[in-house]
Chain A
Amino acid sequence: MPFEIMVQSLIYGIFVGSLYGLIAVGLSLVFGVMNYLNVAHGTLLMIGSYVSYWLFSVYGIDPFITIPLVMASLFLLGSLLYIGFFSSLAKFHSEVRIKNSLLVSFGLMLVLDNVAILLWSADERTITTSYSGMVFDFLDLRFPYVRLLGLCLASMTILALHLLLTKTYFGKAIRAASQDWEAASLMGIKVSRTYLVSFAISSALAGMSGALFCLSYAVTPVIGEAWSIKALIVVILAGLGRIGGVFFAGLLLGLVESVSVFFVGASYQEVVGLVIFVLVLMFRPQGLFTR
């Protein structure tokens, strides 16, 4: 039944899309707050995947249990990367920040990717748990438990981030600093700290994406680049620096990619996102979800 296949692939589109949204939110946060374009963002996902993988394969810890651990370690790594490589860019104005952060993070991506190859080899790694293949059947549609739980966790995390940014004083300070950092500092906000924490949160979100990623896909040291590009497409779809619509833009990309399989075939699936990317930049550069 082609209809059922269609619905089934839409469901998978949502699963994949939630991962796109989760990885893109971090990229958007860093861009929105400090005007850094961190192309090493996908690399942080890769590192998160390996942290989860090693915790599972060496210590046998369940990959869902390790998510907080992965997030904590990526939060720490993100803080260190920010202090070491990105904090010095904060003195420039926004245009220079974009260019310089692009160069710095591209270099960082190359170095980290190669360090990962040296440390962990280029072999594909997968996590297989006792419940990996289990699916929830509903009207002949398949919902893998791993994916369902991943979708829930991703949505909850995005909701938590939203509440952090809109309801807490520190979150409001992050938003204030993103809109006018000079005025924010004149109101007593330590802008350098909001930058550091935003970058660390972004890394933690990339780490979480990594932990969810390795439950369903094989991990290699070079997946980072592809995920950086995916995240960038989603961020452009939602509108640069707009954190609000990013998760939905991620879901949208996931859905469009899954539907496009019917029309252009699986081999061109990756191209679809890039075509949308170019079209949005040409005709609606402010993003789909902005007024």
Chain B
Amino acid sequence: MLEIDAIEVFYGDFQVLWGISLSIQQGEIVALIGSNGAGKSTLLKAVTGLLKPASGTIRFKGISLDKEPPHRIVALGVCMVPEGGRLFPEMSVIENLEIGAFIPQVRKFKDETLKWIYEIFPILKKRTKQIAGTLSGGERQMLALGRSLMSQPTLLLLDEVSLGIAPMMVKSIYETVKQINQSKQLTICIVEQNVQMALKTAQRGYVIETGRIVKHDKANLLLGSKQVKEAYLGLGSMQGDA
């Protein structure tokens, strides 16, 4: 569904991604893991069109995204929940959700999608008129997720959803993500620093280090691998087999 082929991405003169290639198939959940500054979020920015690769190509359902601006990529069915939620803080919950359904082809189905979102996140229904900036951290993340789902994406990108919210909330959000994946066959790509949570949710994972993919495998195998345990789960010394 998504094919990334040898992309190189720069911030000005500073190269962040070095020849990254990966692919995501219809209906699966894929996790991109790696430490802070490894280039995970940069990769998502390249997919959504906020950054353009200097070389390499990104294809979604066979369509090249290289020259497409962000708003066109959303219309093709790729939607991202940006890091920190990035809600419209002075607009109400319902207005944020409405903006999620901005693209004309999904606006027609706005009411049905909204009903579905309220079923997944009942708390949002209670907060309909509340200004988004006054929501709690977890509610904000739910609204950010709901807003992106309003665009009826076929590929959903999640950028650091667990950041700054309570562990219980993280768990419930990822459970919801998994349910949506199963019930709607929605393809999801997770970028997380919470490696354990990401790999438990995903079926496959890629490990990114300093802008390169150093490992990729099934999620449960990655979770069991020595390299991942040592580098990201802080379990290296506990193995005792070094």
Contacts and interface: CB of A to CB of B under 8 A. Distances in A.
A47 to B, nearest CB: 33
B177 interface: no
Contacts of A179: 88-91
A191 interface: yes
Contacts of A189: 71, 99, 102
Interface residues of A, number: 17
A96 to B, nearest CB: 15
Contact of B82 (A172, A175, A183, A191): A183
A240 B14 CA distance: 35
A191 B71 CA distance: 8
Interface string B26-62: 0000000000000000000000111000000000000
Interface string B54-94: 00000000000000011100110001101000111111000
Contacts of A4: none
Interface in A172-202: 172-173, 175-176, 179-180, 182-191
Given A169-B102, A173-B99, A176-B91, A183 B86 contact: yes
B178 to A, nearest CB: 23
Contacts of B3: none
Of A173, A183, A189, A191, which is in contact with the most chain B CB atoms at under 10 Å from its CB? A183
Contact of A169 (B79, B87, B107): B107
Interface residues of B, number: 27
B151 A188 contact: yes
Contact of A185 (B70, B89, B91, B98): B70
B150 to A, nearest CB: 8
B108 to A, nearest CB: 12
B91 A182 contact: no
Contacts of B48: 186
Contacts of A184: 88, 99
B138 interface: no
Contacts of A169: 98, 102, 107
Interface in B77-129: 79-80, 82, 86-91, 95, 98-100, 102-103, 107
A187 B95 contact: no
B147 interface: yes
Interface string B132-161: 000000000000000110010000000000
A172 B103 contact: no
Interface in A147-189: 169, 172-173, 175-176, 179-180, 182-189
Contacts of B69: 185, 190
A187 B90 CA distance: 16
B73 to A, nearest CB: 9
A187 B74 contact: yes
Contact of B99 (A172, A182, A191): A172
Contacts of A175: 88, 90-91, 95
A172 B90 CA distance: 11
A188 B103 contact: yes
Contacts of B100: 187
B71 A172 contact: no
Q: Which 4 A-B pairs have the closest CB atoms?
A: A188-B74, A183-B86, A188-B103, A185-B70
13 contacts: A175-B88, A175-B91, A176-B99, A179-B89, A179-B90, A180-B88, A182-B82, A182-B86, A183-B82, A186-B82, A187-B148, A189-B99, A191-B71
Given A186-B74, A187-B99, 12 more contacts: A172-B91, A172-B99, A175-B95, A179-B90, A180-B87, A183-B88, A187-B74, A187-B79, A187-B102, A187-B148, A188-B74, A188-B151
